[in-house]
Structure 1
Amino acid sequence: MTDDNATTVRDQGPLTEVQLFGGSFDDELKLLLNSYSLPTGDVAIGLAIDPGKTSPIEDSAGLVPLSDGALVMMVADGVGGLPTGWKASGVVLEQVRDQLAKADIDDARRRTAILDGIEEANSVLRELGTGTSTTLVVAIVRDQQVRTFHIGDSSAWICGQRGVVKLQTTPHSPIGMALQAGFVNEKEALQHEDLNLVSNVIGSG
């Protein structure tokens, strides 16, 4: 893609199969903004990279449509500064995708599949022995219900039509916890020296 398409949303039609994007899936990816149609509405997925960045994009994102109309949305962020962070984010999405493929039946089994995928990804990354790791946020959307899972400082947000934030998951980080507890405000959190610290990641243990 080129910068000429930077503001263009690409309509990809019905979402009928798994879509994975990012570091280990798209070596040349610089910008992505795709939309897909579902029986219950539309979904858009976007990825962008700093124009000055020369290393591989460390983020990966995915959409997994399920047989009953539910949708699983995933974003993983390979930890910056660690070896092959781009690979870590891709590994966790692939593992969750594979586990969901075995359990596309009911909500309880999907929850187990996501947790199993996280455990499998953690094992794979530890076996690599490179110290690579990633955060993850997953949301299952079905009808008017949303269920989220997250590890590290990647967050899920639910916003109203006017952009008002109705729900934001608490980042697993010292600053995320301090912000929730009221020890710091948003401006202080964004400028805090410990902003980049995370409490847990996939691949750490």
Structure 2
Amino acid sequence: MKFKPELRNSYVSKITIAVVIVAIVAIIGITLVYMFSQAGPKYDLKGKKVLIVIFAGYNDIEYSTTKSYLAKCGAEVTVLVMHKGAGTKYDIYVGDIKDINRLADQYDAVVFIGGPGVYSRVIGEIKDGSVEKAAEIATAFYSKGKLVAAICAAPGILAKAGIIKGVKVTCFSDSTLINIIKASGAQYTGQQVVKDKNIITANGPNAAKAFAEEIAKTLSGKT
């Protein structure tokens, strides 16, 4: 099949225009993606200090997502491990803490990361005193009006600390854990992320980003 010269030229012109349009759209798309990727964090946490507490058997998604987001916002993040064999680099080992109240004075917030290691200790399968020690840390921060946050199984630590009576909280969707939360007098909501007073809780790794954002939002004062 042969095209007349004028039809062939028209056809080629249309193809050329289409290719140019596609190229322009692609360039705009790439530019927008780059701009968004280079955009600064939504919240400014410069000057804020956050203590992240992890156990052996912590959830890495919850830990890495929360830590990296807060650091990106400008917060100074310190990692405290309840067990030296936690499996990651850390700044403080709980056994080296001499004064928990003094520790709480040095930070604006404490964040407890969840995971199977926390869960097994909260429900009593493993009894090594680490949950009780973590509960002391939570109590110290709470009593000073500092922000206390916990995700996944870690809200169970707050229940053990006795600081969530009458507070709306969420946690990992497990009947045993939920019963511990309710027995402490808290109002279990089942939501992904909940903020009530100076306590923030989340239900697991899928909520890690929203959890980190809520912490950053609260610390920045944009409530």
TM-score, length of structure 2 as denominator length = 0.28
Indicate the structure with greater strand content: 1
TM-score, length of structure 1 as denominator length = 0.29
Query: Quick check: which has more Rg, 1 or 2?
Result: 2
Asked which structure has the greater RCO (Cα within 8 Å, sep 6+), the reply is: 2
Indicate the structure with greater helix content: 2
